[in-house]
Amino acid sequence: MALSAMLLWPMTANADIIQRHVFTAISSGQDSEGAEVLTVAEATACGGNQLRMKEGMLENEDEYADLRSGLIQRIHDKTPMAVTLFDCPVGKTGEEAVPFARMIAGCGPSSCFDDKARLYLDEELMPQVKERSPYLLVLPLPKAALPGTWKVEIFDTIRRDVVRISGQTDAADFVSGKMVGDYRDYDSDGNIGSQVRLDANGRKHGVATTYFDDGKLESLGQWRDGLPVGVQNSYHRNGKLYIRLVYNEKGELLSTEQFNEQGVLVHSDGQMSKK
């Protein structure tokens, strides 16, 4: 999970947002974009109780007319369906704020065990199709303590009770924002891997630490405006100092020292020690 990749946000890729829905109504006509509007019993991941479907946009193999007639029957029967949205229209109003469905399918054990919406993400936390996604994020996001931010808990898609990343984002839809404030990531067993504080621009700012899989300290250093400053220490698994890097206030490397597992200096500023 590369934190550096998240600093490239905002992202424009389409998301794969999957949620169980019970349809309650379908519009009798089309909107200005040629889409039909479906009403659902529970709010979508984007907020509101409507979504749109349009012939040519749905990835269902069924003919559009057959799908539509099947939906009318499911509205009558109140049968839940698994709905995949392209994304949440950020900053839109009116009918443009209503999300488009990518796929509407029958429910399965992995898609309809609850009514929560799930955004699927790849290793770089970019939106990804469900089948290739190692991570998922439950939507909508709750508000965080930091004003103007939302709480983020990204889970493993295999072990769905294991949090892999926690922190805050400055966008309610996650996709259009960036991580800010306290950030932590964890391995597949739930052990902490690293923690750092991010500024309002998503840059490292403050003390950053990483850990070995047994919880022991692996590295410790200070960051300012996304640049390392002062002393940056890395450690052997036995706790002895491994590498010490010293940076100036501009983030420029001034000196390097390397130590063996016994704590003996073996390398300094590119020159081998005679010890």
pLDDT tens, 240-272? 999 999 999 999 999 999 999 999 999 998 544
Q: What structural domains and CATH numbers belong to the chain?
A: 16-115 (2.40.50.110)
pLDDT value for 110: 73
pLDDT value for 188: 93
Q: Give Cα 207 to chain centroid, integer Å.
A: 23
The model's confidence at residue 4, banded by pLDDT at 50, 70 and 90, is very low
Average pLDDT, the chain: 90
pLDDT tens, 50-71? 999 999 999 999 899 999 999 9
pLDDT tens, 135-147? 999 999 999 998 9
**What is Dmax (Cα atoms) for the chain?**
85
For residues 166, 171, 177, 180, the Cα torsion angle rounded to the nearest 10 degrees is -50
pLDDT value for 3: 56
What contacts 64, CB < 8 A, 6 or more positions away? 55, 58
pLDDT tens, 10-48? 444 556 899 999 999 999 999 999 999 999 999 999 989
